[in-house]
Amino acid sequence: MSEAPVIDVRGLTKRFGPRTVVDHFDIQVPKGAIYGFLGPNGSGKTTTIRMLCGLLTPDAGEGTCLGFDVRRDAAHIKEQVGYMTQKFSYYEDLSIRENLDFVARMYRLDRRKERVQQALDDLGLADRAKQLAGSLSGGWKQRLALAACLLHDPQLLLLDEPTAGVDPKARRDFWDEIRRLSARGVTVLVSTHYMDEAVQCDFITYIAYGRKLIDGPSTEIPVMVGLETWRVEGPDLAALEMRLKSEPGVEQVARFGAVLHVSGTDKPLLNAAVERLRAQGTHRWTLQVAGLEEAFIYLMAGARDNFAADPKVPT
Amino acid sequence: MSRAAPARKPDGHFFSLRRFGAVLYKEFIQMRRDHITFGMMIGLPLIQLFLFGFAINADPRNLPTLVEIGDNGPLTRAVISGMQQSGYFDFRGQVAGTAAGEEALRRGVANFVVVIPQNFERDVVRGRSPQVLIAADASDPSAVGGAAAALSGIVNVAIRETLIGPLAQPSAAPPFSVVVHREYNPEGKTSTNIVPGLLAIILSMTMVMITAVAIVKESERGTMEMLIATPVRPLEVMLGKILPYVFVGYVQTGVFLVAASVVFHVPFDGSWLAFFWGFNLFIVVNLALGFLISTAARNQMQAMQLSFFTILPSILLSGFMFPFGGMPGWAQFIGQGVPATHFLRVIRAVMLKGGDVPDVAFECGALVLILIVISGIALLRYRQTLD
């Protein structure tokens, strides 16, 4: 990357009382990239995003966002960032047009009426512009929120679980839009729980207990995790699954429809276990390249719900 | 694999004690978790009980009284000490002349001004039956009532104890008379007293509550997060949110003034400018109070409850319902901190007593002081970020 990264922060830390929610977090996001932000509930994704756009003051750490200092220049950052909150945060008792118009005024945009009308047309909401935002379904609310945070042509989009509670069709449309924006040079940082969304990202960072576990181009993540995966097809997979889980070297058995993916990081041990079962001849075994999905299931298994006390960190 | 169906306890189909108990238990847990509401349910009622229980006195005593002395003899002293001993009057000092006495009444420094005429004792001895004038601030009739009723007894005692020997007159006409002059509300109409005060109460109720709820609503619905993610400044948000309610306050005041004049025939004797200053200050103080409440409340319900807590002192400790001078000293001290106390004095001074700007300057100053304290605390508590 020749250009300076859009987000470049080091050592970002946030504490709420005795709890360290984000712990020395580093991230570099190149311009125009779609950066996936993954991790279990309560791992600090929302807190990190809020620190990046100036809603929270970091307790420690430094860096820049769009070239502005994240600690001192929150006001400048806000001018050029579109932030989509996890929960719908527009006025339910205002109409769609009124909401967009309000946001346009917040950013002091010129040609306001024109921009709002354009956004309504893009949304396909021009004929429902007078409808109250509160009466929209989840998918439409999400589209309204995206349109609202794009009104001021931001250089950077921060999306906090934008597709939670949205149907698959709307999700697909949403991601098409994100890729169009990325192609136009808009940088996107998006947090998500969905595997199929994670694979759409150019880069991925995985965080748990406020700390980064892994970070890199999405194609390299499986290699970095270092999993060996066997694909198994055949009858009575439930029984086989039970059996596999007690074998040494088998760290993860994941079911995808009529197929099992059996993975482990200790290759000789895993392969020995597989050979023993393979000798029975009941199932078809194929060694395959571990994908992102296995990698994530593996990462998530290691760090469940982060609202529970962190067993590794003494408080 | 077969799993055994969970065994259900044989309990009533129509009313299950277990389910009922579970709901009850859950409700108590939720009640305990909501600290602010819990505090309001237990703590505030206790505070209010003690505060108002001890402070409120429907038969007020120790009302501030000034005296204009034209003669200083034993009879004068006997009358004054008799009044003092009755417990109703608390002599705070002397006034130099009629004008000074009137000003003291208009500004609310004293409830009564007692005027002992010149040559009072000589006229008594000569049997000319002079008049002792008691000018009373009847803009609050209940403050004057009890004290005035006690006067004739006080005078009789003073006569009996002082005019002895040859001066003792058998039973003929009393040696002097006491005339109570009810200023500002000669008919002693309650509505004349209550109606101006109601503006203070109505404004407090709506202004504080509406502001508190309007601000809390933003954070409760999550729209505050969107709002502060935009370049908007906190001051723009605050002013923008508060000004519409200033307008509401103006409308309320306008409606009130028309109704007071047309329906209740309450006079408006004083200066509009003094009124204008007072009510604008009062509206702003209430909005600041609402803002302060919004920084403490986590949801709209708590904001409502906390606002309501501020209403009771406005009604009970401000002098609206019970005479301010009749409360014990500590309650008056607390009452001084209630914005409605000062606005009440402003509005009564202006509407009933013909007050002008200088007459309300002190009370307006007090409102400014309260405003500074409240907004200072509120701004310290207000967070620009979500921290």
The mean pLDDT value of chain B amounts to 82
Tokens representing residue B183 in the block: 């200023």
Using CB atoms within 10 Å of the CB of residue A239, give its burial: 0 to 12 exposed, 13 to 18 middle, 19+ buried. Answer: exposed
Q: Do B222 and A83 touch (CB under 8 A)?
A: no
Q: Who among A88, A91, A107 is closest to B230 (CB)?
A: A107
- Across the interface, of A55, A57, A79, the residue whose CB is closest to B228 is A55
CA B21 to chain centroid, in Å, comes to 45
Look at residue B384 in the predicted model and tell me its pLDDT: 56
Contact B105, B353 (CB under 8 A): yes
Q: Is the pLDDT at B191 greater than 80, yes or no?
A: no
Contact criterion met (CB < 8 Å) for A55 and B223:
no
- Between CA B326 and CA B143 the distance in angstroms is 8
Q: Is B329 helix (H, G, I), strand (E, B) or coil?
A: helix
Predicted local distance difference test score (pLDDT) of residue A315: 34
In one-letter notation, the amino acid at residue B20 is: F
Q: How confident is the model at residue B352 (pLDDT cuts 50, 70, 90)?
A: confident
Question: Scanning every residue of chain B, which has its alpha carbon at the shortest distance from the alpha carbon of A87?
Answer: B222
> Nearest Cβ partner of A107 from B226, B231, B385?
B231
Encoded amino acid at B246, one letter: V
Q: What was the pLDDT predicted at A122?
A: 84
Q: Which amino acid is located at B328 in the chain?
A: P
Q: pLDDT digits over A258-283, tens only?
A: 888 888 888 888 888 888 888 888 88
Tell me if chain A has a CB within 8 Å of the CB of B1. no
Give the per-residue pLDDT at B170.
54
Q: How confident is the model at residue A313 (pLDDT cuts 50, 70, 90)?
A: very low
Residue A311 scores a pLDDT above 50: no
% chain B with pLDDT above 90 = 10
Query: Using a CB-CB distance cutoff of 8 angstroms, which residues of chain A are in contact with residue B237?
Result: none
What is this structure's pTM?
Answer: 0.75
- Residue numbers in A near B231 (CB within 8 A): 75, 78-79, 106-108
Burial class (CB in 10 A: 0-12, 13-18, 19+), A114: exposed
- For the four alpha carbons of B91, B93, B99 and B105, in that order, the dihedral sign comes to negative
Compute CA distances A101 → A106, A159, B34, B53, B217, whole Å.
9, 21, 37, 53, 20
Instruction: Decide if A14 contacts A59 (C-beta within 8 A).
Output: yes
Confidence at residue A310, expressed as pLDDT on a 0 to 100 scale: 45
Strand A34-38 relative to strand A187-192: parallel, antiparallel, unpaired?
A: parallel
Q: Do B104 and B132 contact (CB within 8 A), yes or no?
A: no
A30 or B77, higher pLDDT: A30
User: Is A88 in CB contact (< 8 Å) with chain B?
Assistant: yes
CA-nearest of A218, A196, B129 to A206 is A218
pLDDT at B173 over 80: no
At residue B12, the pLDDT reads 63
Res. A170: pLDDT tops 90: no
Higher local confidence (pLDDT), A308 or B70: B70
Q: Which of A55, A142, A146, A236 to mutate to test the interface with B (most CBs of B within 10 A)?
A: A55
ipTM: 0.79
Position A312 scores a pLDDT of 44
User: pLDDT value at position A32?
Assistant: 92
Most confident by average pLDDT, A141-145, A207-211, B132-136: A141-145
Contact A56 B231 (CB under 8 A): no
Kindly state the average pLDDT of the residues A14-37: 91
**C-alpha triplet B299, A164, A116: angle, nearest 5°:** 80
* B46 touching chain A per CB within 8 A: no
| B227 near A CB under 8 A | yes
Q: Which band of pLDDT confidence, cut at 50, 70 and 90, is reported for residue A190?
A: very high
pLDDT score at A303? 59
In the structure, what pLDDT confidence band is assigned to residue B282 with cuts at 50, 70 and 90?
Answer: very high
User: Given a cut of 80, is residue A18 above it in pLDDT?
Assistant: yes
Q: What mean pLDDT comes out for the span B149-156?
A: 78
Task: Tell me which amino acid residue A242 is.
Answer: M
Distance (Å) from the C-alpha of residue A265 to the closest C-alpha of chain B? 32
Query: What's the full length of chain B, in residues?
Result: 387
Per residue in B239-267, pLDDT tens? Answer: 888 888 888 888 888 888 888 888 888 88
- Tell me the percentage of chain B whose pLDDT exceeds 70: 92
Give the phi and the psi of residue B104 in degrees, each rounded to 5.
-60, -40
B229·A79 Cβ contact <8 A: no
**Residues B49-53, mean pLDDT to the nearest whole number:** 75
The amino acid that residue B250 corresponds to is Y
Q: Provide the shortest C-alpha distance from residue B207 to chain A (in Å).
A: 22
| Residue A68 touches partner B, C-beta closer than 8 Å | no
Percentage of chain A lying above the pLDDT 70 cut: 95
Cβ of residue A147 closer than 8 Å to a chain B Cβ? no
The region that residue B216 occupies, defined by phi over 0 for left and psi between -120 and 50 for alpha, beta otherwise, is alpha
* Cα three-residue angle B354-B357-B363, rounded to 5 degrees: 95
For residue B386, give the nearest of A50, A87, A91 by CB distance: A50
Residue with more model confidence, B264 or A104: A104
Determine the pLDDT at residue B143.
76
CB contacts of A78 in chain B (<8 Å) are 229-231
Of chain A residues 103-132, which have a CB less than 8 A from chain B? 103, 106-108
Supply the DSSP string of A209-240, one letter for each residue. Answer: TTEEEEEEETTTHHHHHT-EEEEEESS-HHHH
Q: Distance from B300 to chain A by nearest Cα, in Å?
A: 16
Q: Categorize the per-residue pLDDT at A1 as very low, low, confident or very high, splitting at 50, 70 and 90.
A: very low
Beta bridge partners of A208: A211
**pLDDT at residue B110 above 60?**
yes
A286 φ, ψ to 5°? -135, 135
